[in-house]
Amino acid sequence: MNHPSQPRSRAASSAWFAEALGHFPGGVNSPVRAFRAVGGDPFFAVSASGSRVRTADGDELIDYVGTWGPAILGHAHPVVVKAVQEAAARGTSFGIPNPLEVELARRVKARFPSVETLRFCNSGTEACMSAIRLARGFTGRDGIVKYDGCYHGHADSLLVEAGSGALTLGTPDSAGVPAALARLTHVLPFNDVEALEDLFRHRGDDLAAVILELIPANAGLYVPRPGFLETLRDLCTRHGVVFIADEVMTGFRLAPGGAQELLGVRPDITCLGKIIGGGLPVGAFGGRSDIMERLAPLGPVYQAGTLSGNPLAMAAGIATLDELERVNGHRRLEELGTLLDQGMADAAREAGVPIHWRRVGSMFCAYFTDHPVWNLTDALRSNREQFARFFHGMLGEGIYFAPSQFEAGFLSTAHTPDDLLATIQAARRVLARW
């Protein structure tokens, strides 16, 4: 196995990617994996455990992507693997109600008081798409509000000034979205109370829902200013607009009750995913019972899924949440995050490189800018060429950060202080070469 500091030969990954280009658009099955934002070709992973990913080229990387968030316990945690194996032995899918659905729902509701009833689905995209349809069916209105830079999956109504992979590719408005549908989506700048109040003053009674990431993590990572979410909650209540919190990334990660626990806000509907499936495909949306009861079979809003409540995902989610609680995971993650904060800030200062480092709990982002970042406009001012240089420098040191300025990084309970010290030392070496 190559030492992390040695130059890498990626012959095996290059061969796999060359064939993949003939099978998949761009050679990948999700756009940001293509490395278009940072240049070069992606590596291929063959296994992962704990805080490490092993590549087809025989390299071992300290991983801060964590399968884009779900791996809060690290990769292939023995408790989760055992739960999935035992569930698979009983049957990989039923298409029939099973007790694990009830067990996981019980755990979700215990940690999210705003979720009175819920429904499982198969992805965060599906959860957000379904929540929007439900809000329209509940209110009888068509208009929705989203925030620039917030990514809620690839449903048509939501791919308007989106974040995540859409930003990575430089195409925040996707082709294939009907103009008539896009006109029903009002896009506001995050943290802009004045714009929010003005829209509600003129269109509040036409709106079905506002959907946003309470802490946006698909344009890097930034946080709400004091009073912003409180104003949004008040306006939604006064105008009968459904407040949808997208906690697909932040749910169970920033606190047991997600960002809404951290920030003290109560949405009408919450969208979840990632961690609640323990690394398997999963999504969920839930909230006020009077809204959720509009779903079929009780109401006229149709939503269904063959693999919804799949026993493998349910088992993995139960095991993940129980283990996270057993080891007091959030306290450990905060300790690790504090160590990473201090070290990365020191490395940037010593090198004289302007980096705006942002961390919330176990999520982080390094913007290459000397200005604070509060919204998408601020994020777009960061130096993406410097980020790409940093990304490849760190990858050459055996550290895998997300291959885009506009993606958050993730810590796991499997990361050790030694992992973080190795990462900080690598950052010192990379930045010192500038």
400 is catalytic: no
Q: What is d(CA 93, CA 87) in angstroms, rounded to the nearest whole number?
A: 9
Residues 346 and 408: their CA atoms lie apart, in Å, by 20
- The arithmetic mean of pLDDT across residues 197-226, rounded, is 96
Cα separation of 290 and 292, whole Å?
A: 6
CATH fourth-level superfamily of 11-64+327-432: Aspartate Aminotransferase, domain 1 (3.90.1150.10)
CB 389 within 8 A of CB 25: no
Half-sphere exposure of 326 (CA within 13 A, CB side): 8
Q: Is 151 part of the annotated catalytic residue set? A: yes
Catalytic residue of the set 151, 222, 367, 400: 151
Mean pLDDT across 136-146: 96
Q: What is the pLDDT of residue 8?
A: 61
**Among residues 246, 268, 378, 419, which one is catalytic?**
246
Question: Could you tell me the two tokens for 223?
Answer: 């946080």
Whether 290 is catalytic: no
Q: Cβ of 299: how many Cβ atoms within 10 Å?
A: 14
pLDDT on residue 392: 96
Question: CATH 3.90.1150.10 region(s) of the chain?
Answer: 11-64+327-432
Distance CA 354, CA 348 (A): 7
Q: Which of these is catalytic: 57, 64, 274, 400?
A: 274
Lowest mean pLDDT among 14-18, 29-33, 99-103, 135-139: 29-33
Q: What is the mean pLDDT of residues 344-353?
A: 95
Class of domain 78-325: alpha beta
pLDDT at residue number 1: 38
Angstrom distance (rounded) from CA 252 to CA 375: 23
> Looking at this protein, which amino acid is placed at residue 416?
T
State both tokens at 38: 């940072």
Alpha carbon distance 401, 403 (integer Å): 6
Hey, which residues does 47 pair with through a beta bridge?
A: 54
Q: Nearest 5 degrees, angle CA 225-CA 228-CA 232? A: 160
Residue 387: alpha-carbon gap to chain centroid: 20
Model confidence at 2: pLDDT above 70: no
- What is the C-alpha separation between 228 and 147, in angstroms, rounded? 13
Which residue(s) pair with 45 in the sheet?
55
Q: Tokens 């899918």, residue?
A: 93
What does the pLDDT read at residue 6? 43
